């Protein structure tokens, strides 16, 4: 086994993606400098896959952290797998490359490893990330995502990104891209909410059949940010069965939730800005869940979505009306 790639999955374009990623999204009340500190800690602990996005508005800080860790000899640029995302206000084809170039400028990097469409629901172009009309309703845009995809393919050909993929796509939207006449590159991944309460088994099966990697966000539940989720949502990490399995292995429920994904072939994001938890979240490679454990966790599925994105629900490309 090639040790460098033993904790990675091979993508359909030949590149390798580490199976455990550090997520950099923070709620608005967290100072931007925290993202830099946490990213440095994550790299020190062993994380090599950094998941970020233009809309998180902290790429300058995250980029600085990566460059600091390259400068001090902890890592080389090629050791890091950096993901950024194309926000919904930049889905018109002519806006795609400038959006990626803006991220690269913020990061002060020459290329990213992965560039993905953040969400399929196009919104009015402009500087406003959530453009709203006078009544507070989002202003949507109409874009053919196949044309957006062609613009991503051009970014890959230009060397600005090594790989391209999507996020928050259902199987119908994926089919639309895959069946596009003249498709040059398939999406390497589809990043979606995925955890024991929403295990995405049908979407996972579909993606595996097309050699597309499923990447799990909100794998530990969610940050309980009131802007994005309901207050009375269940608390995944307090689940009785997860806790029983964790106790049996001498682990915590978060480690079990992360390990569950890795064992089913899902790349998983772990998001914490707390040093102790960042360390714990990385410690998932030295134990294994039994087939019985996996089955018990599968049994927790209730198709419960923490991040419902209902303000996009009227958009023609809203992905969550379909079962998967």
Contact 222, 233 (CB under 8 A): yes
- Relative to beta strand 81-86, strand 112-117 is parallel
Active site residue 260: no
Please give the C-alpha separations between residue 91 and each of 48, 116, 124, in angstroms, as whole numbers: 28, 11, 9
DSSP string computed for 210-269? TT-EEEEESTT-----TTTS-TT---GGG-HHHHHHHHHHT--HHHHHHHHHHHTT-EEE
**Alpha carbon of 34 to those of 61, 220, 238, 324: distances in Å?**
8, 20, 26, 35
Per DSSP bridges, beta strands 16-18 and 8-10 are antiparallel
- Residue 103's nearest CA partner among 120, 72, 82, 126 is 82
Best CA proximity match to 203, nearest among 216, 220, 184: 216
DSSP 8-state class, residue 209: H
Provide CB contacts within 8 A for 263, sequence distance 6+: 288, 289, 294
**Is 195 marked as a binding-site residue?**
no
Q: Choose, from 54, 56, 82, 217, the residue flagged as catalytic.
A: 56
Residues that constitute the known binding site = 118
Residues that constitute the known binding site for substrate = 118
Q: Show which residues are catalytic.
A: 56
């Amino acid at each position: 086994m090639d040790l460098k790639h033993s904790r990675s999955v091979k993508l359909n374009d030949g590149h390798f993606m580490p199976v455990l990623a550090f997520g950099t999204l923070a709620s608005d009340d967290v100072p931007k400098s925290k993202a830099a500190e946490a990213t440095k800690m994550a790299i020190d602990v062993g994380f090599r896959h950094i998941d970020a996005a233009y809309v998180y508005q902290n790429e300058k800080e995250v980029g600085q952290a990566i460059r600091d860790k390259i400068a001090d000899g902890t890592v080389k640029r090629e050791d890091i797998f950096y993901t950024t995302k194309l926000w919904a206000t930049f889905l018109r084809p002519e806006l795609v490359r400038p959006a990626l170039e803006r991220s690269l400028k913020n990061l002060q990097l020459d290329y990213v490893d992965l560039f993905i469409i953040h969400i399929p629901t196009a919104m009015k172009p402009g500087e406003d990330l959530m453009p709203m009309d006078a009544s507070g309703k989002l202003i949507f845009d109409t874009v053919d995502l196949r044309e957006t995809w062609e613009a991503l393919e051009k970014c890959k050909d230009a060397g600005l990104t090594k790989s391209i993929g999507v996020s928050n796509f259902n199987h119908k939207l994926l089919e639309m891209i895959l069946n596009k006449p003249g498709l040059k590159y398939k999406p390497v991944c589809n990043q979606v909410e995925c955890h024991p309460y929403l295990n995405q088994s049908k979407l996972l099966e579909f993606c595996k059949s097309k050699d597309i990697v499923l990447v799990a966000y909100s794998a530990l539940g969610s940050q309980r940010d009131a802007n994005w989720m309901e207050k009375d949502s269940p608390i995944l990490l307090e689940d009785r069965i997860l806790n029983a399995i964790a106790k049996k292995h001498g682990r915590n429920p978060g480690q079990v939730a992360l390990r569950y994904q890795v064992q089913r072939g899902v790349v998983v994001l772990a998001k914490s800005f707390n040093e102790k938890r960042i360390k714990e979240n990385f410690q998932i490679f030295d134990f294994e869940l039994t087939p019985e454990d996996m089955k018990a966790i599968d049994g927790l599925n209730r198709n419960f979505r923490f991040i419902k994105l209902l303000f996009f629900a009227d958009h023609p490309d809203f992905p969550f009306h379909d079962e998967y």
